[in-house]
Amino acid sequence: MKKVLVTGSSGFIGSALAKSLLALGFEVIGIDSNNNYYSRELKELRIKNFIIDNGGEFLELDFSDRRALDLLFSKHDFDVVFHMGAQAGVRLKKENYWKYVLSNLTGFSNVIEFAVQSKVPRFLFASSSSVYGNLAKIPYVESEKNLNPSSFYGGTKLANEILTPLQVRDTATKARALRFFTVYGPWGRPDMAYFRIINSLLNSSQFSLNGTGELKRDFTFIDDCIQSIILLSEELSQRPPGFFDKVNVGGGNPSSMKELISVSEELTGSSLNLKISEPNLNDAALTQADFTYLMSLINFKPKTSLAEGVKKTIDWANYYKRYLDSWVKSSN
């Protein structure tokens, strides 16, 4: 049985990945700091439902803590490290940018350093479409050179991508950056627009829209995202030690915020109480993945339609309706 480490395992993508890996027979150890970026209650529900109840192990551990990581890696021989943990979101205030630095730079450096020192064969980490910024050609292709992130968060993810090949060069570890494109679905992050829209529709609260709704995102349903990660990990095993690449994880079919709202209204049978706010300068106007490289590696790309994915999310949200509003408020 292969043993894997999943960081950020009480988070949205990390918890879903841990659950899928456990179902496939992997021994999974998940770590997370369970910080206060949003509801600890939501994170603990994910840990119980996705990890503990499925036979996995969870440790509350901050990967910016070198001593704790050293102890973890000295106790376990991991076959794969899935580094999904990070300070997420693009909208932290400037006085809180240190959180990006601590988690996405210092914490990232710690995890990959110990993975390399421990000769972990595979290291896959969560990057982001945010690395492209507003100047890259559409659709975004991995070979794009004109990378100008429009957010500090995107800048930290680009830094991860720049540093990783230097870390794994001439080592036993091969690495892969996963450029995620707006992952959404059940058990998602309450700071994200789709979660807030659904909460507003189900609980009759107001939704604040930044801009006019023309902004477009290449929405990627969580199940497609997880399948892509697992297949990309398997493909990475065939690569030589010291290998590094970057892969878009997106279906190349962007939808506007207006479309997201319309689909959500139709599926709930409700009208959104909408407040128009100023555009956020950290938001790219359009994200769209070129999935050519992804398909060449695994013969799969995200395929769930926005309507199908939103319906599944609403079905889940109805079950947890009484919690949604407090979870959204916890991320304000």
**Catalytic residue annotation:** 153
β-strand 27-32 against 57-60: which pairing, if any? Answer: parallel
DSSP string, 30-61: EEE---SSS-HHHHHHHIIIIIGGGT-EEEE-
Strand order in the sheet with 3-7: 57-60, 27-32, 3-7, 80-83, 122-128, 174-180, 244-249
Query: φ and ψ at 27, to 5 degrees?
Result: -85, 120
Q: Locate 178 and state its tokens.
A: 């996963």
The Cα angle at residue 58 between residues 43 and 312, in degrees rounded to 5? 40
Q: Locate 233 and state its tokens.
A: 């990990």
Within a 13 Å sphere around the CA of 150, how many CA atoms are in the beta-carbon half? Answer: 16
What are residue 184's DSSP bridge partners? 221
Identify the helix (H) or strand (E) that includes residue 206: strand 206-210
CB 127 within 8 A of CB 206: no
125/86 Cα distance (integer angstroms): 10
279/265 Cα distance (integer angstroms): 22
- 3-state SS, 82-128, equals EECCCCCCCCCCHHHHHHHHHHHHHHHHHHHHHHHHCCCCEEEEEEE
C-alpha separations of 316 from 124, 176, 219 in Å: 29, 32, 18
The SS3 assignment for 241 reads: coil
